[in-house]
Amino acid sequence: MNTIQEIQASIVEEFSVFSDWMDKYEYLIELGKSMPLIDEKEKTEEHLIKGCQSRVWLACKPENGRLRFSADSDAIITKGIISLLLKVYDNQTPADILAANEDFIEAIGLKENLSPTRANGLVSMIATIKAYAAAHKGLSVPDGTERQKKDIEPEIVAALRNVYDPEIPVNVYDLGLIYEIQADADGVVFVKMTLTAPNCPIADEVVAQVHEAVADVPGVKEVQVDLVFEPEWTTDRMSEEAKLELGML
């Protein structure tokens, strides 16, 4: 099985034969047509990627210690873009997905040839894939309490990615405001979080939104959100995707 790095290198080589971006777009479209599509019954709000101009559904399930992705989109170019990402990350381990960079995107010229809205969508797609990987880091953990945590945490992470900081247009998870998530076998979830500034005038509202988002996750019976300011939040806690979205890279 090829590594992520080997697949990325292969993609860069494949795109190098095209000198015109219209040809590259056509190749993306062909990739989209061959992508493993999400089951129609999974085209739900839960699987919609937030931040994309077009609708993009992405589902993930663990299989033998690896993550299997399926996706679909109602826009042909967007479908090609997500298919390109799945070509890289499908059937890889969570650890390898989290450790991988996305340099191949710039190497093939995709980043510079996308509209701002599609570029933002690309960032959101990558962030969602990485969020799934982060939530499944404990794939090899046996059953019991940790098994329950593994099963429910992807949904918690996905829910938190729908809560946005009031001052910065990035969700609280990718912004690095979520310090800790603990879930026990009884569906009790503890979230430790912070804010970008201790004197945030709507701190209570943000905490309430986090509480509500987690409480809405199926299987969650009780939620406790602890707001802390130590350690102090810094931009180092932001994901690479968040930094890219804000033009910090």
Residue 40 shares a structural domain with residue 82: yes
**Model pLDDT for residues 23-48, shown as the tens digit of each residue:** 988 998 898 888 888 888 889 888 88
- Which one of 135, 166, 183 terminates a domain? 135
Count up the domains in the chain and report the number: 2
Question: Is residue 223 one of the residues assigned to a domain?
Answer: yes
- CA dist 80 and 152 (Å) reads 30
Q: For residue 179, give the 3-state DSSP assignment.
A: strand
**Model pLDDT for residues 221-231, shown as the tens digit of each residue:** 889 999 999 88
**24 phi and psi angles, rounded to 5 deg:** -70, -40
Per-residue model confidence (pLDDT) at position 249: 67
Known catalytic membership, residue 200: no
Sheet holding 188-193: strands in order across?
Answer: 178-183, 188-193, 222-227
Question: Is residue 140 one of the residues assigned to a domain?
Answer: no
Q: What is the mean pLDDT of the chain?
A: 85
Residue 152: give the domain boundaries. 145-245
Please identify which of the residues 11, 37, 49, 52 carries the catalytic annotation.
52
Which of 61-65, 158-162, 182-186 has the lowest average pLDDT?
182-186
Question: Is residue 11 one of the residues assigned to a domain?
Answer: yes
Identity of the highest mean pLDDT range in 6-15, 45-54, 134-143, 186-195: 6-15
Question: Is residue 103 one of the residues assigned to a domain?
Answer: yes
- Which one of 135, 162, 193 terminates a domain? 135
Q: What is the DSSP letter of 39?
A: P
Residue 70 shares a structural domain with residue 161: no
- pLDDT band with cut points at 50, 70 and 90 for residue 123: confident
Crossing angle for the helix pair 21-33 and 76-89, to the nearest 10 degrees: 70
